[in-house]
Structure 1
Amino acid sequence: MKLAILDDYQNAALKSAAWDSLGPDMEITVFNEHLGWDEDAIAARLAPFDILVIMRERTPFPASLLAKLPNLKLLVTTGMRNLAVDMDAARARGVVVCGTAILPFPAAELAMAFIMDLAKKLSAENRIMHEGGWQGVVGEALNGKTLGILGLGRLGSRVARFGKALEMDVIAWSQNLTQERCEAEGVRLVSKEDLFRQSDFLSIHVLLSERTRGLIGREELAMMKPTAYLVNTSRGPIVDEQALIDALRSGAIAGAGLDVYDVEPLPKDHPLRSLD
């Protein structure tokens, strides 16, 4: 059988699992560059494979592409949700779709790393030092600042605990969040409006769905303080990307820490690449 691993940009997949346990008859191919957006070209590259292992939503699998993959029997996605796969079409074609378990702490740690970097200006100072400068920016304290958590699930609750350890005032909101859940995590439940208005750092930890797509738009960004920062390690489309770009350019908010985008990999000419 033939198996392909897609979007392994860091050449990490083969070191991250015991692929040899699949036996000597499994032929594994790794694609470490994005296959692009031409569906016919993608189909031509993937047509020989029986099994595809995909990374998040980086390569979509609509019904039209699935119809061009006659050998496909199994589609494995990292995590248990992937809105880029047409599940009905896969089911109709007899393609089994499954997901992997994910560790809860890496994304939470990454969100906190963004918060620390935005506050302490670590990246900026590192760049200044390597360019020959010295102490070009001034960091700010996290102690006593307000950390807003959008979605207090497994990841959001971990970030909330990090914030509490730094003696931040932690507040939270999501559409189904309860007072009992907030009390269990020792954070304050607030309204959506107050989450955006009060947060000095706002970290997103909701799942991407039709309900959360575009959840943060121009109206929500306009509520934020001009000194506030937005952190998104969840999914890009939760935030209206153009509205965020405009807010960053205009100084409506102080900055953002992003690990996810509408289109991944981020195009080389994307406007976010030109912002500090």
Structure 2
Amino acid sequence: MKKLATLALAMVLAGVLGKAALAAPPADTLAEVKKKGVLVAGVKDSLPPFGYIDEKSRTIVGYDIDFINAIAKKLGVKAELKPVTSASRMPQLQEGNIDIIAATMTKNPERAKQIDFSHTYFFTGQKFITKKGAVRSLKDLEGKKIGTAKGSTSEQNVKKAIPSSTVLSFDDYPQAFLALQQGKVAAVTTDEAILAGILAKAPNKAQFEIPNLQISDEPYGLGMRKGDKNFVDFVNKTILEMEKSGEAKKIFEKWFGPTTQFHLQRNFKITADK
């Protein structure tokens, strides 16, 4: 009887482990996405103009979303958007809940050990939002509280650039900006393109500015699972084609052109990384 019970338990455990193995992320995302007919992307949903909820359509729109839609179209599948934060996006990818990250994600060596990146599809630099006239140099932020988002490269960069500062990490950048408005921090730091989006939407934006103080370069990549070569190659080929056809520039102009709230110069082209 004891032997039978042990055998039954072993069979149950084998079944559970078998199901766990089935739930693992696909080894070939490209084939799996084509098979299921849906590309699931992790995106921001409160960060204009990269990813935010449009008030009229109640759908997520933005620069990152246009790239995902273009990749999904090339694949001949639908795009499904899942909101992620800076801290949750890599775990969501690695656990197989999403197929790709398109969420203002800076490529760096530390992250590249854990996931694979596409070629750079957006390029910016890390700066600050401060009260107008309050900050002229990095010296003015020494010993001050500076807000940013958890799990972002901005956290590490500002600690290196201003070691005497106290970095307060929030769930997202709008929360950090609220802390600035309330006088709880002296500045908010992240990539200039994100800061421009936050400031453009602020009702009291005349009280704030982005001083010309850059502390790092920030190349954005689309994130995919480590070793997922077929999918990475497909995404890279697609965004290089988008650059060649002018579609990538058109998307930039749509969100950052001179007639937009977020006007920036396009000082990059999508090229194959060396």
Fold match (TM-score > 0.5): no
Greater relative contact order, per chain length (Cα 8 Å cut-off, separation 6+): 2
